[in-house]
Structure 1
Amino acid sequence: MLLHAIVKGKVQGVYYRKFTKETADRLGLKGWVKNLPDGTVEVVAEGDEDKLKELLENLYKGPPLAEIIDIDYEFLNKDGGFTDFEIRY
């Protein structure tokens, strides 16, 4: 299963990508996270549905300096074929 999320708020320049990678690694998820030009952060994660929901809960919290306004997300029944979780640039 895949989680695709766009995180809105003060999420760039506050270690949000690093926080997301560390959380995904801890949960055993695969995929990626990257900053988008409009100031949002995009997350694509693959794994067990319960672990993806736990990641989503953590995305709403974020690191201490982040201010999350909203997250647009969807769960998809597909396989991304990822081998690890990476920060994309």
Structure 2
Amino acid sequence: MTDRLSRAFTQEKAQSYGITGFVKNTSDGKVEGEAQGNEDALQKFLKDINEGPKNAHVVKVEKSTIDTKDGESSFQY
């Protein structure tokens, strides 16, 4: 899956669940991001990004809990 496709897919899914945060490329060629929203929406979002878009091969999704960021109103890439 290309980085651009990965970021666009992630942003589309986040927006569909009302999740805020970001996704970006890293210098080592990976894609990383942060997401915040209600627990149900986050679980659905994680399920979707673990599957990836049609015909994609997701290697690994890592998850950790971080502090909520005030003032976020959208999901950026």
State the alpha-carbon separation in 1 of the partners of residues 8 and 17 from structure 2.
14
Q: How does 1:1-89 map to 2 (within 5 A)?
A: 10-13=1-4, 15-76=5-66, 78-81=67-70, 82-87=72-77
Give structure 1 stretches of 5+ with no counterpart. 1-9
Q: Using CA pairs below 8 Å that are at least 6 residues apart, which structure has the higher relative contact order?
A: 1
CA RMSD of aligned residues (A): 1.5
Helix, strand or coil for the counterpart of 1:75?
coil
Cα deviation, 1:28-55, whole Å, max 9, x if unaligned, reads 0111011112121112011101111111
Q: When you count helix as a share of all residues, which structure comes out higher?
A: 2
User: Taking structure 2 as the reference length, what is the TM-score of the superposition?
Assistant: 0.85
1:27 Cα shift?
0.1
Give structure 2 stretches of 5+ with no counterpart. none
Helix, strand or coil for the counterpart of 1:23?
helix
1:66 Cα shift?
2.7
Aligned length: 76
Runs (4+) of structure 1 exceeding 3 A deviation are none
Q: Percent identity?
A: 32
Q: When you count strand as a share of all residues, which structure comes out higher?
A: 1
| One-letter amino acid of the counterpart of residue 3, structure 2 | Q
